[in-house]
Structure 1
């Protein structure tokens, strides 16, 4: 499946390389924040990112589990790295787009595709979900969704490979027919 990473998957792989992180990064949350000059605060409020005078803070809900905080951190980190503008003043559709992008980033940052590709996942779905959850320090629901995304991606790549192969064979057949007709 290598060579078929999406732009987001490649971006995440580059980020991990830039940060010199080769395994699951949940233990590196404070270092990651520091690398991007982001302050992390824990409050009794919903998780969010705040930017004031060029300084960034990520506020994480202190009553969440460490796994949920890690997931929220990744979501908010996307806003720091990729988004601009006041979330409350922007067009609803643009805000929804940014939230969709942050959610996709979160799934891929917490459980990177390039790492999943190197793993031997258990055959039984429940065991595979548990393995992802434990390895990457994410919740069961998160691991289940991430596995589904990964499986969809692999199915899409297989389809792309098979379709490309079919087109190449059809092209060769067409070339032979042209040769025989002349």
Structure 2
């Protein structure tokens, strides 16, 4: 059972002909959506004006952080319109929350995690996910927490968790 966001991400991956566990090629994704990527010493930002879409990424960050930032900004390009600086702060916060959720699910999709034979220990799973998806350890750890929490929430996934009884992880 997938959430609406997980289904949306799976559909985008299908459009991009991606279904494997490897670091997302942000340049290819940007080309697919006709987005210009600009690397400069500045905070990440997405701009869409008159059908011209641009994502600015911080050239000082490593490729893991750039990939994470790209996924966040991609959500703004695909789902949000208008300048955020002229919106109510609660609306802006909602858009940022959407972009953060999208970022985690797009960089490390659930449909790929579901078919992955992950290590049983969180201490092995985090570096495994980090390496395979090209994201930072902190990002991988948070995404795995999200993934496992979702498995616990939906009883039809209980069997999968039961199989992983040796999982060295505290669910909270």
Same structural fold, with TM-score higher than 0.5 when normalized by the shorter chain:
yes
Matching of residue 62 in structure 1 with residue 59 in structure 2 = yes
State the Cα deviation string for residues 92-125 of structure 1 (Å, max 9, x = none).
0000000000000000000000000011111111
Deviation at 1:25, TM superposition (A): 5.7
- In the TM superposition, what are the counterparts of 1:110-129 in structure 2 within 5 Å? 110-129=107-126
1:24–1:110 Cα contact (<8 Å) kept: no
Q: Distance in 1 between matches of 2:157 and 2:137?
A: 30
The answer for the alignment partner of 2:141 in structure 1 is: 144
Instruction: Return 5+ residue gaps in structure 1 as ranges.
Output: 163-182
Q: Distance in 2 between matches of 1:159 and 1:113?
A: 15
The answer for the alignment partner of 1:71 in structure 2 is: 68
- In the TM superposition, what are the counterparts of 1:31-50 in structure 2 within 5 Å? 31-50=28-47
Matching of residue 99 in structure 1 with residue 81 in structure 2 = no
- In the TM superposition, what are the counterparts of 1:164-175 in structure 2 within 5 Å? none
TM-score, length-normalised on structure 1?
0.83
Q: Distance in 2 between matches of 1:75 and 1:26?
A: 15
Q: Distance in 2 between matches of 1:5 and 1:125?
A: 23
State the Cα deviation string for residues 67-96 of structure 1 (Å, max 9, x = none).
000000000000000111101111100000
- In the TM superposition, what are the counterparts of 1:81-96 in structure 2 within 5 Å? 81-96=78-93
The answer for the alignment partner of 2:165 in structure 1 is: none
DSSP-derived class of the 1:20 partner: coil
The answer for the alignment partner of 1:28 in structure 2 is: 25
| Higher normalized helix content (fraction of residues) | 1
Instruction: Return 5+ residue gaps in structure 2 as ranges.
Output: 160-172
DSSP-derived class of the 1:138 partner: coil
Give the number of aligned pairs.
159
Q: Output the aligned Cα RMSD.
A: 1.6
Range moving further from structure 2, 149-158 or 20-29: 20-29
Q: Distance in 2 between matches of 1:123 and 1:161?
A: 16
Partner of residue 154 from structure 2, selected from 147, 152, 157: 157
**Structure 1 residues 148 and 97 mapped into 2: Cα distance closer, same or farther (>3 Å)?**
same
Question: Is the radius of gyration larger for structure 1 or structure 2?
Answer: 1
